[in-house]
Amino acid sequence: MSFAIALSGINAINDELNTISNNIANAGTYGFKSSRTNFAAMYAGLQPTGTEAASRTQSIEVGGGVLTTGRAMDASIQGRGFFVTRDTSGAEVYTRVGIFAVDKDGFVVDSFGRRVQGYNVVPGTTTLGAMGDLQVPTGQVAAQASTEVRYVGNLSYDWAIPAVTPFDRTDPQSYNSSIVTVVYDSLGVQHSVTQYFVKTGTNQVTVHYTMDGTDLPTTTVLDFNTSGQLTSPLGAVPLPLGTPPGAAPLTVNLNYAGTTFFGGEATTTTNNSNGYASGTLVGVQLGEDGAVLAQYSNGLKQRVGTIALATFAAEHELVPISDTAWTTSSASGLPLYSVPGAGMAGSLTPGSLEQSNVDMTAQLVNLMSAQRNYQANTKVISTENEMMQTLMQAV
């Protein structure tokens, strides 16, 4: 019986050595979670029969260090949760390794070619769309015509009313200041809208406009109170810009809210318009909220989806598989999907990767302890063998 007990100890320690060696081998593996072999005593009735490697515990809840990579498509999870991927068979696979890229068909994939799962965009809303394969449009993004122009600045009260009248854009003495704003038509073609500011009263400025050097018939009168604050107009002012060649009619809404009429230098703090030219895809990056952002040559950044994270009621019961990933088991429970930072899911840190959580010092101590226990069990077998030889010689 002593032989069998000592042999059970050796077998159990072999199991433990497999776990320790696997931990050490994966000390440099991104997203790896170390494991521990748990021993349990065995009995036949009241008779001890040794030990066994009864279970293996994963340290999934212990986070690894964060390695900053600076790569736009890398991400680590701070807290609970797993990235959700789908392999070629259609099965869901869960991983902590956030090394992503966009394949030739525009799908977001991990480093093993598995398609990353997330929520699609519902155009014109912030609502999450259906969950599925995340795909980045590979074609050109269409041009967007400008619809708004915003100007904020200080139009100087110290200006003198121009002596030259009426306004003539070719004569700088007929106006006090001017500023140019770039707008886009429906084809994405740039146009220049120039605003000419003319002081026409004690607390009044009249604005004249040109588009691409052509005078426009519309003018706007800006009225200010004795505190230098704009009193009229308080809302947006429509400015028809005509119909550019080959494009749709173009009208922008001018907003002067926040503009003042103080003494001193005239300044401009805001001068911009919406709209943009068409653009081609030049890159993809991840946001802290899990957003997949497509970057285009026209400077536009567009959300094309949101990465999903999966959490589990008993994540330590997930089954580890190759390529640093896990699958579900009956004990782990079904996945609960959410966006990063919502519910039980952790937040994302773009431009970084989670390192292995293996504590090398602890593993080497465990290795020495296993070696000592192994030697002790072999000593039992050696002693038992010598006793049997002595007994046989005495017979």
User: Which pLDDT score, from 0 to 100, does residue 366 have?
Assistant: 94
User: Which pLDDT score, from 0 to 100, does residue 1 have?
Assistant: 64
SS3 percent helix, strand, coil of the chain, rounded to 5, is 15, 45, 40
Q: What pLDDT, in 10s, does the model give residues 36-67?
A: 999 999 999 889 999 999 999 999 999 999 99
Q: What pLDDT, in 10s, does the model give residues 219-274?
A: 999 999 999 999 999 999 999 999 999 999 999 999 999 999 999 999 999 999 99
The Cα–Cα gap between 38 and 57 comes to 7
Q: Are the C-beta atoms of 200 and 220 separated by less than 8 Å?
A: no
Element (DSSP H or E) covering residue 268: strand 267-273
Residue 394: is its pLDDT beyond 90?
no
**Closest to 110 in 3D by CA, of 94, 90, 126, 131:** 94
Residue 395: is its pLDDT beyond 70?
no
Pairing of strands 148-154, 251-255: parallel
- Local structure of residue 144 (DSSP, 8 states): B
The Cα–Cα gap between 151 and 222 comes to 12
Q: Are the C-beta atoms of 335 and 84 separated by less than 8 Å?
A: yes
User: Which pLDDT score, from 0 to 100, does residue 170 have?
Assistant: 95
Average pLDDT rounded to a whole number, residues 381-385: 80
Residue 163's identity, in one-letter code, is A
Q: What pLDDT, in 10s, does the model give residues 103-140?
A: 999 999 999 999 999 999 987 777 889 999 999 988 88
Residue spans per domain, the chain: 2-61+356-394, 66-141+280-354, 148-273
Q: Which residues pair with 227 in a beta bridge?
A: none
The Cα–Cα gap between 110 and 385 comes to 56
**Closest to 100 in 3D by CA, of 73, 135, 66, 137:** 73
Domain 148-273 has CATH 3.40.50.1000: no
Q: What pLDDT, in 10s, does the model give residues 175-216?
A: 999 999 999 999 999 999 999 999 999 999 999 999 999 999
Return left, alpha or beta for 7; rule: phi > 0 is left, psi -120 to 50 is alpha, else beta: alpha
Decide: residue 122, CB within 10 A, 0-12 exposed, 13-18 middle, 19+ buried.
exposed
